[in-house]
Amino acid sequence: MIGLVLVFPVLLSIIGLIVKNKLVNRINLGLTSAAYLYVSIQKITHYEFYFLPEWLLQYFAFDEIGLFFFFVMTIVFGGVSIYLTFYFKEHNLSAVKESVFVAELLLFLAAMSGVILSTHLALLWVFVEATTLTSALLIYFEKKKSSLEAAWKYIYICSIGIALAFVGIIFLSIGTRQINSLYFNDLYNNANLINIFWLKIAFAFLFVGLGTKIGIAPIHAWLPDAHSEAPSPVSAMLSGTLLNSALLGLIRVQQIFIKTNLEDFSNFFFILTGFLSLFVSSVFMVRTKNYKRMLAYSSIENMGILFIGISLGKYGIYAAMLHTLSHSFAKASLFLTSGNILYLFKSKKIDDIKDLIKLDPKTGWLWIISALAIIGLPPFPIFISKFFIIKALWAKGVSWLAILFFLFIVIIGFGIFSSIFNMAFRNNDSALSDKHYNLGWQAYTPQIVLLIILFFIGINSPAFINALINNAANFLR
């Protein structure tokens, strides 16, 4: 299973670069999606086989929380793979450019898989750096001046963050001399042997380093530019999967603090930066004029919500895991739909988008329903996760933070939905108002499937989804 996840995308990317054929590119995307879905199903049903050497398997493993994040990534990537058929046709890419794009995307996917499956802290750091290098190429893929600036900004800021995380690993190594191991299981099982001073110093560097990659405020400067300038399918992967993989790395570090009964120390940083992220998002959400940047600030908001949930114990951790899945699916739907809008209007400015619901009803309604899903209107599950976080804040005796949390999400929700509503229904006096478009099933189906999944999770979540969420939440309890 692990070999299939890590090796298969790399092999297919090499084949695609050698053959340079459009049909092969589409087959590669389909095979990779099918392979990842197959692995997810087999792991959920507790079946396993190996074809990697045993000595290599000690560095990679599926645990409960890793399986949850892998499942979320699998579903988002499957939707993106379908949508890419429309994206390739829209841009009329040559076989060579298609092959390069697919190869970069598969390498990016393999790097994120490495982050999720790593059982060793230093190896996780290597794969986090690999996600930066592979995703930067995707951000710059359309080769515009703005995308070049965004890619370099992303590389520069995230590389500094990753360097700080490496310093944190060095400090943790000093504090774990008695353990002489950076395997996560060794750190958890022998947490009482870790020097507390060096552990706290290490956490500061790891928190800032991985937090930079997650895009949490105030170290989020790369995220709005990268998400808004990347091709829409790439934006969906960045927001729906990349941020999650970096978050998982920080969650694994947080588990060390739980094992050493120092979670109050780390929880303070989580809740502080979580609320700071909500504040930053609320300020910029009502001011931004670019709808893809608006979605990027929404990602910062939702990462802040996850940080708050992680810091709040039982209900908050469950809410954070549910929110992770819900945000990934809803945000992927929004970014993919933004690709339809960009194709129709050739503009990212909110003021340029008018009468979307008449021009392309399918895109218009997907845009609106996806917005309702991301702001948490019932029955979508983000409503449930936000409710549990408010409940957890109240139970902690910090009702004023619960009120502040509610105020921020209302401001952000109003900012998102007012812009999206205006884009869908504002009158358009141009010649475009007389036209009607149907972009093809590939431009709509991924979003429809993602929203249907969210709807049923909100109404009556399937047993295996509940098990995935609960098992992931139990990792931090």
Highest mean pLDDT out of 22-26, 51-55, 208-212: 208-212
CA–CA separation, 184 and 119 (whole Å): 6
CA–CA separation, 1 and 37 (whole Å): 11
pLDDT tens for each residue of 5-22? 888 788 889 888 888 888
324 close to 71: Cβ distance less than 8 angstroms: no
Domain edges within the chain: 262-477
pLDDT tens for each residue of 247-293? 999 999 999 999 998 989 999 999 999 999 999 999 998 888 999 99
What tokens appear for 142 in the block? 């359309």
pLDDT at 450 over 60: yes
Three-class DSSP labels, the chain: CHHHHHHHHHHHHHHHHHHCCHHHHHHHHHHHHHHHHHHHHHHHCCCCCCCCCHHHHCCECCCHHHHHHHHHHHHHHHHHHHHHHHHHHHHCCCHHHHHHHHHHHHHHHHHHHHHHHECEHHHHHHHHHHHHHHHHHHHCCCCCHHHHHHHHHHHHHHHHHHHHHHHHHHHHHHHCCCCCCCEHHHHHHCHHHCCHHHHHHHHHHHHHHHHHHHCCCCCCCHHHHHHHHCCHHHHHHHHHHHHHHHHHHHHHHHHHHHHCCCHHHHHHHHHHHHHHHHHHHHHHHCCCCEHHHHHHHHHHHHHHHHHHHHCCCHHHHHHHHHHHHHHHHHHHHHHHHHHHHHHHHCCCEHHHCCCHHHHCHHHHHHHHHHHHHHHCCCCCHHHHHHHHHHHHHHHCCCHHHHHHHHHHHHHHHHHHHHHHHHHHHCCCCCHHHHCCCCCCHHHCHHHHHHHHHHHHHHHHCCHHHHHHHHHHHHCCC
| 433 — pLDDT class (breaks 50, 70, 90) | low
pLDDT tens for each residue of 311-329? 998 789 999 999 999 999 9
pLDDT at 386 over 90: yes
CA–CA separation, 132 and 120 (whole Å): 19
Average pLDDT for the chain: 90
Mean pLDDT of 36-61: 70
